[in-house]
Amino acid sequence: MTRPRLYSGMQPSADSLQIGNYIGALMQWRELQQSYDAYFSVVDLHALTQPNDPAELREKTRRTAAQYIAAGIEPSKSTLYVQSHVPQHAELAWVLSTITGFGEAGRMTQFKDKSARYGTDATNVGLFTYPVLMAADILLYQTDVVPVGDDQKQHVELTRDLAERFNNRYGATFAVPRPVIQKDTARIFDLQNPTAKMSKSAESDAGVLWMLDDPSVSAKKIMRAVTDSDGSVRFDREAKPGVSNLLVIYAALTGRQIPAIEDEYAGRGYGDFKKGLAEVVVGEFGPVRDRALALLDDRAELDRVLAANAAKASEVAGATLNDVYDRIGLLRRV
């Protein structure tokens, strides 16, 4: 029986992923690859919507791929590749942009937020068409399921609309994907500013736990995490966002339930709790970090794995794009 297909990706927007990426995405990808025919890409074309130093972008791309593998994505089981290695992504994005309304793209809240933040002059057209490229990523592989955070749900809805529009106009071409929204509990917040999402592009490093941080640095950041003056280890998102965030991290990494952790630390204060969490974090990420660094020590082998996976992805993507070109009436080169 063929397995349903799944697509997801991350931007190579930092030297290291942060543990929100791990808990919110990679841990789930690792599980899902067992039951889905999974495609995981490092979306370097999307990362071009931000300013990049060319050498750094190349480095971040390799590092992101190495961290996928170190976190348990198996390149022999899943198709793990770099987006720009498969040129059909950019080609299909162009076609889809011609059936996307200007107003429709303008309603995307991520674009509205980012363009408001950067100002008109610093907002590029790529940021505007970002969701169209994302639609192309997904539709090229006849994807059934897209695991995303709540913030990306609107982009998957647009993808569905574009797939249905194209199918209605030109006949059944694309599978219409459905989003699988990660649970809210999978959302990790900044340790210093626990109402803001932990993010690769956070302004300050102190609130971000990087997957490739030295273990002693991670432990220090946890010990300095913002809490409150109440003193009890208790989950209350509204009143105790800092402690609640730490509890969510603890529970996600250990697979334990939050009430059991609250019981364990009842009456013991934040120092003990943070020490316990630091041990959990170091225990989880120490081996991941070692594996990622070992993979980065043999770049030729990493590049070979990425090339083989890109070749596999290109076969599927090429077949979809050929079909699209035929249906819309492009004269094919003989």
DSSP-derived letter for residue 80 is: E
**Which is closer to ligand AQP, CB of 140 or CB of 188?**
188
- Select from 5, 16, 18, 36 the one that contacts ligand AQP (CB under 6 A): 18
Q: Taking the complex as a whole, how short is the minimal distance between the CB of residue 110 and ligand AQP, in angstroms?
A: 9
- Known catalytic residue: 221? no
Q: Taking the complex as a whole, how short is the minimal distance between the CB of residue 227 and ligand AQP, in angstroms?
A: 18
Q: Assign 10 to helix, strand or coil.
A: strand
**CA–CA distance, 247 with 260 (Å, rounded to integer):** 10
Q: Taking the complex as a whole, how short is the minimal distance between the CB of residue 207 and ligand AQP, in angstroms?
A: 11
Determine, following the binding rule CB under 6 A, whether residue 280 of this chain makes contact with ligand AQP. no
Q: In three state form, how does the secondary structure of 128-197 look? A: HHHHHHHHHHHHHCCCCEEEECHHHHHHHHHHHHHHHHHHHHHCCCCCCCEEEECCHHHCCECCCCCCCE
Residue type, 280: V
Q: Assign 8 to helix, strand or coil.
A: strand
Q: Taking the complex as a whole, how short is the minimal distance between the CB of residue 228 and ligand AQP, in angstroms?
A: 20
Q: Which of 77, 112, 114, 274 is catalytic?
A: 114
Q: Which stretch binds ligand AQP (CB under 6 A): 9-17, 55-63, 259-267, 288-296?
A: 9-17
Q: Which stretch binds ligand AQP (CB under 6 A): 21-29, 209-217, 293-301, 304-312?
A: 21-29
**CA–CA distance, 311 with 331 (Å, rounded to integer):** 25
**Which is closer to ligand AQP, CB of 149 or CB of 318?**
149
Q: Taking the complex as a whole, how short is the minimal distance between the CB of residue 147 and ligand AQP, in angstroms?
A: 7
Determine, following the binding rule CB under 6 A, whether residue 212 of this chain makes contact with ligand AQP. no
Contact 212, 292 (CB under 8 A): yes
Annotate each residue in 185-204 with x if it binds ligand AQP (CB under 6 A) or - if it does not, as one string: -xxx--------xxxxx---
Q: Which stretch binds ligand AQP (CB under 6 A): 12-20, 114-122, 162-170, 292-300?
A: 12-20
Determine, following the binding rule CB under 6 A, whether residue 11 of this chain makes contact with ligand AQP. yes
Q: Taking the complex as a whole, how short is the minimal distance between the CB of residue 78 and ligand AQP, in angstroms?
A: 15
Helix runs in 171-298, H state only: 215-223, 241-254, 258-264, 269-297
Name residues contacting ligand AQP, limited to 149-168 (CB under 6 A). 149
Q: How many residues bind ligand AQP (CB under 6 A)?
A: 19
**CA–CA distance, 230 with 236 (Å, rounded to integer):** 12
**Which is closer to ligand AQP, CB of 148 or CB of 321?**
148
- Known catalytic residue: 275? no
Residue for token pair 């797939």: 163
Q: What angle do CA 77, 12, 243 make, to 5 degrees?
A: 90
Rama region for 333: left / alpha / beta (φ>0; ψ in -120 to 50; rest):
beta
Annotate each residue in 107-146 with x if it binds ligand AQP (CB under 6 A) or - if it does not, as one string: ----------------------------------------
- Known catalytic residue: 240? no
**CA–CA distance, 304 with 299 (Å, rounded to integer):** 8
Q: Which two tokens stand for residue 221?
A: 């950041």
Q: Which residues are catalytic?
A: 114, 197, 200
What are the residues binding ligand AQP (CB under 6 A)?
Answer: 10-11, 13, 18, 20-21, 23-25, 148-149, 186-188, 197-201
